[in-house]
Amino acid sequence: MSTLYLVATPIGNLGDITLRALEVLRRVDVIAAEDTRKTAILLRHYDIHKPQLAFYEHNEERAGRHIEALLKQGKSVALVTSAGTPGISDPGYTLVQRAIQAGIPVTMIPGPAAFVMALVLSGLPVHSFTFRGFPPRKAGRRRRFLEADRHSPYTLIYYESPYRLVALLRDALEVFGDRPAALANELTKLFEKVYRGTLSSLLETMTQEKPRGEYVLVVAGASQESGVGAHEGLAWEESSPEVEGDETEAEAEEG
């Protein structure tokens, strides 16, 4: 029976793939991948041999029509992104819409999501949170984006690249004030780091260091009391257990 499978894949450590995800990737007719080169690394590691087609931000409409046609022909398709869960700051939403509107079964193989891991490790309240994804690149739009959540009582979560991280921290400090915050980097990889403190301490640290890889910024909500003094200015670091199949930085970047 034709089915669209959304398959979560590792955000760095290849050992984080689930048994069910491997089963589905071996069974489907086609794998739709955000980056076929990165997905090929995963498939080779687990000796999976399936045809891939590219499905990414700039070809979603054309590739989506093609995938819909395959599903209507009775083919089963697995959608994967470069890393993590399809649809979370990555392509997937429009394809799910297509399948639902066409009456095609859609299911998901759950697994890693960087923002969930960063939230839990942050030490900030987890019972209510808002995931905001990647902020706009331009300074003015980024500040307006942050302003929308200035008075939100919920823990806020953002993704950012190393190239705009310092600018994001600076704008967040200006908009939110010096709130408790955490910054997660290289999650599940050998040099995994989570910095905890305040926005000002994180800004100072990242100004001195050279940011590398993708980052997840977690910021306390407007009304949260999180014991700022206990963590202020401290950085906590832990190395992930080495598991055969860890990717190099060139092979996988967290998103």
What CATH code is carried by the domain that includes residue 216? 3.30.950.10
* CB distance 114 to 89 below 8 Å: no
Same domain, 103 and 159: no
- The CA distances from residue 48 to 38, 44, 51, 109, 115, in Å, are 14, 6, 10, 17, 28
Rounded to whole angstroms, the Cα distance separating 190 from 105 reads 38
pLDDT at 240 over 50: no
Same domain, 136 and 74: no
Same domain, 144 and 203: yes
Q: How confident is the model at residue 152 (pLDDT cuts 50, 70, 90)?
A: very high
Q: Which of the 8 DSSP states describes residue 9? A: B
pLDDT at 76 over 70: yes
* CB distance 76 to 3 below 8 Å: yes
Residues found in the chain: 255
Same domain, 57 and 123: no
CB neighbour class for 225 (10 Å; exposed up to 12, middle 13-18, buried from 19): exposed
Same domain, 204 and 103: no
pLDDT at 143 over 80: yes
* CB distance 168 to 143 below 8 Å: no
Rounded to whole angstroms, the Cα distance separating 34 from 84 reads 11
Of 36-50, 166-180, 196-210, 217-231, the least confident: 217-231
Of 103-107, 210-214, 218-222, the least confident: 210-214
Q: How confident is the model at residue 224 (pLDDT cuts 50, 70, 90)?
A: confident
Mean pLDDT of 44-56: 97
pLDDT at 167 over 50: yes
Helix (H/G/I), strand (E/B), else coil: 7: strand
Return the ∠ at Cα 157 (arms to 165 and 190), rounded to 5°. 65
How does the average pLDDT of the chain come out, rounded?
Answer: 90
Q: How confident is the model at residue 69 (pLDDT cuts 50, 70, 90)?
A: very high
Same domain, 104 and 118: no
Q: How confident is the model at residue 225 (pLDDT cuts 50, 70, 90)?
A: low
